[in-house]
């Protein structure tokens, strides 16, 4: 009893002495509790219940107001300016950079390397230091270089990479590439939708379409929630987490990844991925043995293990908002932007194997996995990488793919009207060599058609099988639309317009297909939309002065209400007070086909309602009939289909 009274006295004394502090702390805890209940973002859950209907691919504006608020233009990456004291040449030989050493002021510099050896997917070790004079060929892909001056001080220490092709060619029989046996270069970026790519890497996309003659799939849709199921289906053609594949609780070595088939067909193979703590396959147990001939994971594990240093990732969220606290970017390792390691390793693989057949899959996470703006910092680098491929002739016998697994995963973004669609529709672009277009004209024709069709990783896998087997003729045969459509249809073959999410094995959680409900073309709202669109055209043409006639609405040909089939399931969502006070804006979409005079031009456009009681044009107004020489007086690409010259 005495002890209890003593303890109570101490509590009363503490409460009296620190009363103000207790009130402040209690207040902070209450505010934190209220903030977590009200402001905390949760995943909005949407399910498409019309997955068995013909897919109408959503036409979205990359600059949609609901998502544009998250986009920022960032300052360029700033790294250290000191040059490397060593470099690897185009033959894979390590050299001391004599000019850099001379400029450094260090005297009697001597260098050594330690090979980085992979123990498993999670551990590496440094082997014994090997001193070299001016140059050496390192029989390993990754090694740590140290250089010391005349006082034995370490003046340079950095992890380097190469492609040890000589050792591999002693153990593998590699065959030459050709017009029949094509290389495959897959360049992947995590969490990047097609529309986000249009906002953040426009230089790259423009180069793919205009300079490389590539194709961008506007109906490409994910089949799983995150990277693992989508990449597994890409590489195996199987449904992840199903009995089609071995249990994923063990190492993934037994999985029938298609790079094994390419390797058995005389291809050199490579898989590279950054951010080892969130690796696609090591999220489970990874691989017991390296999955490909060249495997970049040990490089990134070594960066973390040996503190060489790795990036200060805590600062990346700030840099994503263009707040730079440090002298140099957190995306740098000394003088090198971190994504350059990935790109340079990819380039070395392509360059060192010359005319040998090659299959490469690269996957970049750090710039995109958690951030929506950082990838713009690599836009020009990607373009230059693709430009190097073209100008060096390395695309002559190659298929180039730029792709992602899904869109941005940040809840605040994917809960917006545009974001929920973007999350489900990643970027997918493909470039094929000119000779393939000439010899098999059905392939470019089908690819162009398929840019507007519902597509998935299963279709990409079937295309990879066509490339593996060098069979470019079977895709000429149309799919039997009277029978059940196959889950995967090669992108080289025309994909039926009637394809549904069920046909393509896209679960209802990820199916974004809209549907069209016909409207009365003579209704007041149809005419109102038509008048708005004609005014929009006239406004766009006003910059050309009096060269173009002022158009008038002649007739509404067709009008449709565009219905989103994604239905929200609030009962399955985690509760927060935010959901009580925030609802989706009531935005409606319409498709209008109309004719104008003079010229009898036929146009088609998609519009959405806005807060001002009017409409916004989604994308562009498209001319759907021929215009011949009606627009002879102007040359501007986007205005030419709209103008009737006078």
Residue 107 phi, psi (nearest 5): -110, 145
pLDDT score at 50: 77
The mean pLDDT value for 448-461 works out to 98
Per-residue confidence (pLDDT) for residue 614, from 0 to 100: 85
Q: Does 172 have pLDDT greater than 70?
A: yes
608 against 534, higher pLDDT:
534
User: Taking residues 260-277, what's their average pLDDT?
Assistant: 96
List all residues 6 or more positions away from 232 whose beta carbon is below 8 Å from its beta carbon.
224, 238, 240, 245, 255
Q: Is the model's pLDDT at 473 over the cut of 90?
A: yes
Which residues lie below 8 Å from residue 173, measured CB to CB, with a gap of 6+?
A: 266
Does residue 297 have a pLDDT over 90?
yes
pLDDT at 8: 58
Quick: pLDDT tens for 505-542.
999 889 988 888 899 999 999 999 999 999 999 999 99
Band (pLDDT 50/70/90 cuts) for residue 495 is very high
At 160, is the pLDDT very low, low, confident or very high (cuts 50, 70, 90)? very high
Ramachandran sector of residue 213 (left: φ over 0; alpha: ψ -120 to 50; beta: rest): left
- Residue found by looking up tokens 């123990």 in the block: 119
Task: Please indicate whether residue 585 or residue 398 has the higher confidence score (pLDDT).
Answer: 398
Lookup: tokens for 57: 């691919």
Least confident of 9-18, 87-96, 403-412: 9-18
Rounded-to-integer distance, Cα 92 and Cα 108, Å: 25
Give me the CATH code for the 39-54+513-646 domain, please.
3.10.450
> Cα(589)–Cα(565) distance, rounded to whole angstroms?
13
Q: Which two tokens stand for residue 624?
A: 């759907």
Q: What dihedral angle (degrees, nearest 10) is formed by the CA atoms of 161, 163, 166, 170?
A: 120
Reported confidence tier of residue 373, pLDDT bands at 50, 70, 90: very high
**Domain-wise residue ranges, the chain:** 2-38, 39-54+513-646, 169-496
Gyration radius of the chain's alpha carbons: 29
Distance CA 358, CA 262 (A): 8
The pLDDT tens digits of the residues spanning 68-101 come to 888 999 999 999 999 999 999 999 999 999 999 9
Average pLDDT over residues 556-580: 73
Q: How far is CA 222 from CA 225, 370, 431, 534, in A?
A: 8, 18, 20, 37
User: What is the pTM (predicted TM-score) of this model?
Assistant: 0.85
Note whether 193 and 425 are within 8 A (CB). yes
pLDDT score, position 541: 96
Query: Which of the 8 DSSP states describes residue 574?
Result: P
Percent of the chain at pLDDT > 90 equals 71
* pLDDT (average), residues 132-142: 96
Q: Is residue 133 predicted with pLDDT exceeding 80?
A: yes
Q: Which residue stretches of 312-406 are H helix?
A: 316-320, 338-352, 379-391
Instruction: Identify the band that residue 3 occupies on the pLDDT scale cut at 50, 70 and 90.
Output: low
* Beta-carbon count within 10 A of 51 CB: 20
Q: How confident is the model at residue 308 (pLDDT cuts 50, 70, 90)?
A: low
Q: What confidence score (pLDDT) does residue 313 get? A: 72
More confident residue, 113 or 31: 113
Q: Which helix H or strand E contains 592, and what residues bound it? A: strand 589-597
pLDDT at 579: 59
- Tens digit of pLDDT for each residue in 585-596? 667 889 999 999
Mean pLDDT (the chain) is: 90
Half-sphere exposure of 415 (CA within 13 A, CB side): 17
The alpha carbon of 427 is separated from its chain's Cα centroid by a whole number of angstroms, namely 6
pLDDT at 405 over 60: yes
Residue 483's Cβ-count burial label (10 Å; 0-12, 13-18, 19+) is exposed
Distance separating alpha carbons of residues 310 and 338, to the nearest angstrom: 9
CATH number of 169-496: 3.40.720.10
Checking DSSP bridges between strand 268-273 and strand 294-295, what pairing results, if any? parallel
pLDDT band for position 481 (cuts 50, 70, 90): confident
Q: Give the 3-state secondary structure of 492-524.
A: CCCCCCCCCCCCCCCCCCCCCCEEEEECCCCCH
Cα(518)–Cα(527) distance, integer angstroms: 14
Mean predicted confidence (pLDDT) in 428-441: 98
Residue 69 burial (CB count, 10 A): 11
């Amino acid at each position: 009893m005495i002890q209890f009274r003593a303890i109570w006295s101490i509590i009363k004394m503490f409460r009296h002495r620190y009363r103000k502090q207790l009130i402040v702390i209690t207040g902070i805890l209450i505010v934190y509790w209220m903030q977590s209940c009200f402001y905390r973002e949760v995943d909005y859950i949407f399910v498409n219940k019309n997955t068995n209907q013909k897919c109408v691919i959503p036409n979205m504006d990359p600059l949609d107001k609901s998502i544009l608020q998250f986009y920022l233009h960032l300052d360029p990456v700033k790294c250290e300016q000191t040059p490397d004291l060593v470099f690897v040449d185009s033959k894979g030989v390590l050299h001391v950079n004599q000019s850099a050493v001379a400029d450094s002021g260090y005297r009697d510099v001597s260098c050594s390397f330690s090979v980085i050896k992979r123990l498993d997917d999670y551990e590496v070790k440094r082997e014994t230091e090997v001193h070299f004079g001016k140059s050496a060929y390192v029989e390993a892909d990754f090694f740590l270089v140290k250089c010391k001056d005349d006082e034995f001080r370490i003046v340079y220490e950095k992890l380097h990479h190469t492609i040890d092709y000589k050792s591999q060619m002693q153990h593998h029989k590699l065959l030459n590439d050709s017009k029949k046996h094509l290389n495959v270069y897959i360049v992947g970026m995590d969490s990047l939708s097609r529309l986000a790519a249009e906002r953040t890497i426009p230089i790259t996309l423009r180069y793919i379409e205009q300079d490389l003659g590539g194709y961008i799939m506007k109906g490409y849709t994910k089949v799983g929630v995150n990277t693992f199921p989508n990449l597994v289906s890409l590489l195996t053609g199987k449904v992840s987490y199903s009995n089609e594949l071995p249990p994923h609780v063990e190492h993934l070595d037994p999985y029938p990844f298609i790079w094994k088939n390419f390797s058995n067909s005389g291809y050199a193979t490579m898989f590279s991925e950054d951010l080892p703590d969130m690796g696609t396959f090591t999220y489970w147990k990874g691989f017991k043995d390296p999955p490909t001939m060249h495997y970049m994971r040990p490089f990134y594990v070594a960066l973390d293990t040996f503190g060489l240093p790795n990036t200060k990732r805590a600062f990346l969220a700030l840099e994503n908002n263009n707040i730079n606290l440090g002298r140099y970017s957190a995306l740098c390792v000394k003088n090198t932007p971190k994504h350059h390691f990935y790109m340079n390793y990819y380039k070395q693989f392509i360059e060192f194997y010359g005319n040998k057949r090659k299959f490469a899959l690269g996957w970049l996470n750090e710039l995109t996995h958690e951030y929506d703006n950082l990838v713009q910092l690599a836009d020009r680098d990607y373009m230059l990488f693709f430009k190097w491929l073209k100008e060096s002739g390395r695309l002559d016998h190659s298929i180039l793919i730029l792709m992602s697994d899904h869109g941005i995963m940040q809840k605040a973004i994917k809960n917006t009207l545009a974001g929920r669609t973007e999350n489900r529709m990643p970027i997918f672009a493909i470039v094929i060599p000119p000779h393939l277009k000439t010899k098999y004209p059905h392939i470019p024709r089908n690819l162009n058609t398929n840019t507007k069709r519902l597509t998935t990783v299963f279709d990409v896998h079937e295309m990879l099988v066509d490339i593996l087997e060098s069979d470019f003729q079977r895709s000429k045969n149309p799919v039997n639309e009277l029978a059940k459509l196959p889950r995967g249809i090669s992108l080289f073959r025309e994909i039926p317009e009637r394809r549904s999410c069920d046909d393509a094995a896209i679960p209802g959680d990820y199916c974004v297909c809209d549907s069209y409900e016909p409207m009365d073309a003579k209704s007041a709202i149809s005419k109102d939309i038509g008048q708005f669109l004609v005014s929009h055209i006239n406004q766009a043409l006003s910059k050309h002065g009096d060269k173009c006639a002022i158009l008038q609405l002649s007739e509404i040909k067709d009008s449709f209400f565009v219905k989103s089939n994604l239905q929200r399931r609030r009962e399955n969502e985690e509760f927060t007070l935010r959901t009580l006070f925030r609802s989706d804006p009531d935005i409606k979409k319409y498709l209008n086909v109309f004719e104008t005079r003079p010229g009898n031009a036929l146009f088609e456009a998609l519009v959405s309602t806005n807060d001002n009681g009017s409409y916004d044009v989604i994308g562009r107004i498209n001319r759907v009939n021929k215009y011949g020489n009606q627009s002879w007086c102007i040359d501007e690409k986007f205005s030419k289909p709209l103008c009737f010259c006078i």
